Chain A
Amino acid sequence: EVQLVQSGTEVKKPGESLKISCKGSGYRFTSYWIGWVRQMPGKGLEWMGIIYPGDSDTRYSPSFQGQVTVSADKSISTAYLQWSSLKASDTAMYYCARPVGDGTLDGFEIWGQGAMVIVSP
């Protein structure tokens, strides 16, 4: 079964760093892009960035460039989203997602279960 399994809920304080993970299984991890999507409470979906684990090619939304870092460790089939200094406004659900086709930027067919990040003093 093809799936993405994300790390769990995180509760952090403003200014702290954080790295959340997304582990792929059931498919060739290096052949598919993996993207990250933010959903703030009660709001819509926002695309943050995407990485191709095969060669670490990474793209960012202009809204998130410089705010987060997307990375991947292909040896353990895991993608990451990290912050160096969290803000209260980073409180949201974060999803990782994989497109339909290998090597293509396509519709996101496979989604992780989501990771809730809560940033509070």
Chain B
Amino acid sequence: SYELTQPLSVSVALGQTARITCGGNNNGIKNVHWYQQKPGQAPVLLIYRDSNRPSGIPERFSGSNSGNTATLTISRAQGGDEADYYCQVWDSSTAVFGGGTKLTVL
């Protein structure tokens, strides 16, 4: 079955840029979606289809995809960005989530 690999944790200094990666299998990864989940809350879609932001999502959040790795970039990190982040793809009509990355803002 398809698997997505994310780092367990990422740390970023306040105001700096955080990058969270999502690795696919050897066939490449495409149309990656990214979610943010804060404790006790439902996930929020940040990026869909690699690089599209839903309305209401700040421009500080951006996505990119090159070959086998997709990246979520959070610019000017704020304390409120501390959360778990998940990537997700569709593989043969089944959804697959990455294991999640905990972002800490120092």
* A positions within 8 Å CB-CB of B: 35, 37, 44-47, 50, 59-62, 95, 97, 100, 105-109, 111-114
In this complex, what residue of B is CB-closest to A44? Answer: B100
A109/B97 contact (C-beta < 8 A), A45-B43, A62-B1, A95-B42 known:
no
Q: Which of B44, B45, B49, B86 contacts A45 (CB under 8 A)?
A: B86
Within 8 A of A (CB), among B84-106: 84, 86, 88, 90, 93-100
Cα separation A62 to B48 with both chains bound (whole Å): 24
Q: Which residues of A contact B95 (CB under 8 A)?
A: 35, 47, 50, 61, 105
A-B contact number at CB 8 A: 65
Most chain B beta-carbon contacts within 10 A, residue among A37, A97, A107:
A107
The CA of A45 and the CA of B45, in the complex, are separated in Å by 13
- The answer to whether A109 and B54 touch (CB under 8 A), given A46-B97, A47-B95, A47-B97, is yes
**How far is A62 from B3 in the complex, measured between Cα atoms in Å?**
13
Note all chain B residues with C-beta closer than 8 A to A61: 94-95
Q: Which residue of B lies closest to A100 (CB)?
A: B48
Contact A107–B49 (Cβ < 8 Å): yes
- A50-B95, A62-B94, A109-B54 given; A44·B45 CB < 8 A: no
| Complex partner residue of B43 from A60, A100, A111, CB under 8 angstroms | A111
B96 partner residues in chain A, CB cutoff 8 A: 47
Which residues in A have their C-beta under 8 angstroms from that of B84?
A: 44
Name B6's closest neighbour in chain A (CB-CB): A44
Give chain B residues whose Cβ lies under 8 Å from the Cβ of A105: 90, 93, 95
Tell me whether B97 and A114 are in contact (CB under 8 A): no
Chain B residue numbers with a CB within 8 Å of A46 are: 97
* Complex contacts, B1 vs chain A, CB 8 Å: 62
* A100 contacts across to B, CB distance below 8 A: 45, 48, 54
Can you give 16 A-B contacts (C-beta < 8 A)? A44-B99, A45-B86, A45-B100, A50-B95, A60-B94, A95-B42, A97-B43, A100-B45, A100-B48, A105-B90, A105-B93, A106-B33, A106-B48, A106-B49, A111-B43, A111-B44
List B contacts of A44 (CB < 8 A): 84, 86, 97-100
